[in-house]
Chain A
Amino acid sequence: MLHVENLTAAIGDKQILKGLDLDVGSGEVHALMGPNGSGKSTFAHALAGRDGYEIGGTVTLDGADLLEMSPEARAAAGIFMGFQYPVEIPGVNNMYFLRTALNSVRRARGETEIGARDFLAVAKEAMELVEMKQDFLDRAVNAGFSGGEKKRNEILQMAVMQPRLAVLDETDSGLDIDALRIIAGGVNALRGPERSMIVITHYQRLLDYITPDFVHVLVDGRIVQSGDRTLALHLENHGYADYVDTDLDADPRAAPERPLAGASS
């Protein structure tokens, strides 16, 4: 469904992604792990279409060239990004924002817009998923939300948008254990044969709740190893030391004694 080939991304002279390859099939959940600065968030933004990067390579979603599309066109094509730092929009009602978002993609797909009353039903269902109260919809988008509330709001939006591919960028960062459980519950409920996910995280903890089909290790702009979830457990115990040599310029693929972790995809 998602095909990424030799993806490169740079800001100015700084090359961040250095030839990333990844295939995600329909209904699959892929975890993407890696040390700070390895390019995980850049990868998410490259998929979502953020301005400011020099992008090279190929990315297709269901055969369509994603890199040619504006961010909003990618959203209409079914890409949803859960932000690591959800943005505050003061004065804009959460419900209004959500309905505008949903109707924007519906319009772009040639579907009819959804009215206020029908939307409320959709929103209510989504809110139950992330255990939110009604007043959440009446507040301004992320303004004054706690860290946990912001992340739950991301999952709420995902539930409303019903994306084809969700890219969740460190959705677990800054969460206490209860919030983590709620969010993971929401994400699991949204898993389905037609929906794929890329879950970006530092910690294997999240993967106790969201069991990935595949785990990839991203180091210095490339995927250096792929495996099943036991790879994540190994990383939990050993960190990224196996990949990140004290010599930062070393080619990570040449790192010694890589663990042999389960089936490689």
Chain B
Amino acid sequence: MSDTLREIEELANAGYQYGFSTDLDTDIAPPGLNADVVRLISSKKNEPQWLLDWRLAAYEAWTKMDEPDWAKLNIAPIDYQAISYWAAPKSKPVLDSMDDVDPDIREMFDKLGIPLHEQKMMSNVAIDAIVDSVSVTTTFKATLLEAGVIFCSFSEAVHDYPDLVREHLGSVVPVRDNYFAALNSAVFSDGSFCYIPKGVRCPMELSTYFRINSQNTGQFERTLIVAEDDSHVSYLEGCTAPQRDENQLHAAVVELVAKDRAEIKYSTVQNWYPGDENGVGGIYNFVTKRGRAHTDAKISWTQVETGSAITWKYPSVILQGDRSIGEFYSVALSNKRQQADTGTKMIHIGKDTTSTIISKGISASHGQNTYRGLVKVMRSAENARNYTQCDSLLLGKDCGAHTIPYIEVKNPSAQIEHEASTSTVGEDQLYYCRQRGMSEEDAMSMIVNGFCREVFNELPMEFAVEAQRLLSVSLEGSVG
């Protein structure tokens, strides 16, 4: 038994394979945050006055807010004045053709296994690549435009589609929503914008790839997806960062708007640098993600969270329209000294709304994993239904799993189900597999992947394979 635990410890110390940094010529602002920095960012991006005003209002709000401390996270204080709020690769950020991409950047993405050359790319996936603060390239743009789909960097959208941006920006996550959302609203650098017109099924998967490269910078992106009536889109984001000794802040905001009968499927594979086995370094990931589902619309969040030193993230759905559907499928892994406090909020407002929550938390080594979820049924939500299942898996004896469900029901017709389980990986399961000839490591990988099956089934095919591989790598040596 102790042998297994020891091997789990060893596996936990497996290396982070995306830990390289690329020497890019970067335009970086001095550390610190004040109204002038907000103005600087806005002017660097040549933004219209309304957006600058919006940012400044957010900054004002932020200065009056307190950092939330209710999460089950043990965090060293963050010095917001020590962070640089603007970093961008110096070469021309917006490009017309792949051939214009800085060869260093292209090489960096090749190293990450994300080729930006269209002919070499995964077929049927359009990618927006974001380095530090700026979108460096968006692929397949022309093909998408033919279908009427807009997929571009947020900065481009501000200039090319100002009305769409102005109408929806902050409509789901208001600037004062929370401390990190306010911060993001003040200083967000770039991100992705996506618009699917009425009745259009987006012809390919859309993907944003985030990469933090510079030192001492924060990354603050903003993603906005608007799906008009009867449209459909599947969207994926991936994230990595170099291995550094200091903590880096990542505070993103994602807003989804699904109009009548529209469907948005949003998948995340988050693999920011998690820090080392002593808890040195790693990304602080404070993310606000929320969608608004109108009548008969459906919003589905799927996340595989294997990275970051700290994960604070609750992708949520406001079930505003009648018969709207919200889903949340999550795998969160906390290894080494990682801490994750993650879950979802399902706010039932419309009649006959349904939500499903499937959360799989895996804790290994000294990892701490908390599921925190809110199911709220408002008075107006006749016949609302929710099903919640939270499963935790413990690998080793020094890790922890916590489940904190909040249920608020104001309409007696609601049906709420909550199931939770905590299991250890089974010495029995490992032994059984090994008796059948499998190595301990293969057995562990098989068991953990099996534990996550219901969530992986929700991922688009290519990414499901990627997620399985990532999970195996993240647990390599650690769990076996």
B428 proximal to A (CB < 8 A): yes
CA of A13 to CA of B133, assembled, Å: 62
B434 proximal to A (CB < 8 A): yes
Q: Which residues of B in the span 386-431 have a Cβ within 8 Å of any Cβ on A?
A: 426-429, 431
CA of A161 to CA of B447, assembled, Å: 20
B446 proximal to A (CB < 8 A): yes
Smallest beta-carbon distance A90→chain B, Å: 6
Q: Which residues of B in the span 424-474 have a Cβ within 8 Å of any Cβ on A?
A: 426-429, 431-440, 442, 446-447, 449-454
A89 with B437: in contact, given A51-B427, A140-B450 (CB under 8 Å)?
no
A71 with B447: in contact, given A91-B454, A104-B442 (CB under 8 Å)?
no
CA of A140 to CA of B446, assembled, Å: 12
B3 proximal to A (CB < 8 A): yes
What count of chain B residues pass the 8 Å CB interface test? 26
A161 with B436: in contact, given A50-B431, A51-B1, A87-B426 (CB under 8 Å)?
yes
Most buried by B among A75, A81, A89: A89
CA of A190 to CA of B437, assembled, Å: 19
Please tell me which one of the listed residues B428, B431, B439, B447 contacts residue A92 in the complex, with CB atoms under 8 A apart.
B447
B4 proximal to A (CB < 8 A): yes
Residue of A nearest to B426 (CB): A87
B450 pairs with A92, CB closer than 8 A: yes
CA of A91 to CA of B449, assembled, Å: 8
A157 proximal to B (CB < 8 A): yes
B428 pairs with A76, CB closer than 8 A: no
Residue of B nearest to A48 (CB): B435
B1 pairs with A90, CB closer than 8 A: no
A100 pairs with B431, CB closer than 8 A: no
* B436: chain A residues within 8 A (beta carbon): 75, 97, 101, 104, 157, 161
* B433: chain A residues within 8 A (beta carbon): 89, 97, 101
B437 pairs with A87, CB closer than 8 A: no
A86 proximal to B (CB < 8 A): yes
CA of A218 to CA of B247, assembled, Å: 62
Total A-B pairs in contact (CB under 8 Å)?
83
* B442: chain A residues within 8 A (beta carbon): 100, 104
B451 pairs with A101, CB closer than 8 A: no
A75 pairs with B437, CB closer than 8 A: yes
Please tell me which one of the listed residues B3, B449, B453 contacts residue A51 in the complex, with CB atoms under 8 A apart.
B3
Please tell me which one of the listed residues A48, A79, A91, A104 contacts residue B438 in the complex, with CB atoms under 8 A apart.
A104
* B427: chain A residues within 8 A (beta carbon): 51
Smallest beta-carbon distance A84→chain B, Å: 12
Chain A proximity mask over B233-274: 1 for CB below 8 Å, otherwise 0? 000000000000000000000000000000000000000000
Chain B proximity mask over A88-128: 1 for CB below 8 Å, otherwise 0? 11111000010011101100100000000000000000000
CA of A251 to CA of B66, assembled, Å: 75
Residue of B nearest to A83 (CB): B432
* B452: chain A residues within 8 A (beta carbon): 91
* B428: chain A residues within 8 A (beta carbon): 87
Most buried by A among B427, B434, B449, B451: B434
CA of A164 to CA of B457, assembled, Å: 38
Residue of A nearest to B421 (CB): A90
* B429: chain A residues within 8 A (beta carbon): 87-89
A100 pairs with B446, CB closer than 8 A: yes
A89 pairs with B438, CB closer than 8 A: no
A52 proximal to B (CB < 8 A): yes
B450 pairs with A91, CB closer than 8 A: yes
CA of A48 to CA of B428, assembled, Å: 13
Chain B proximity mask over A22-60: 1 for CB below 8 Å, otherwise 0? 000000000000000000000000001111100000000
Which residues of B approach A to under 8 Å, CB–CB? Answer: 1, 3-4, 426-429, 431-440, 442, 446-447, 449-454
Which residues of A approach B to under 8 Å, CB–CB? Answer: 48-52, 70-72, 74-76, 79-81, 83, 86-92, 97, 100-102, 104-105, 108, 140-141, 157, 161
Q: A48-B431, A101-B436 are in contact. List 4 more A-B contacts (CB 8 A).
A: A51-B431, A70-B434, A102-B437, A108-B437
Leading 5 A-B pairs by shortest Cβ distance = A91-B450, A91-B453, A92-B450, A101-B436, A75-B437
13 A-B contact pairs sorted by A residue (CB < 8 Å): A51-B1, A51-B427, A70-B434, A72-B434, A72-B438, A75-B434, A75-B435, A76-B437, A91-B450, A91-B452, A92-B447, A97-B433, A105-B437
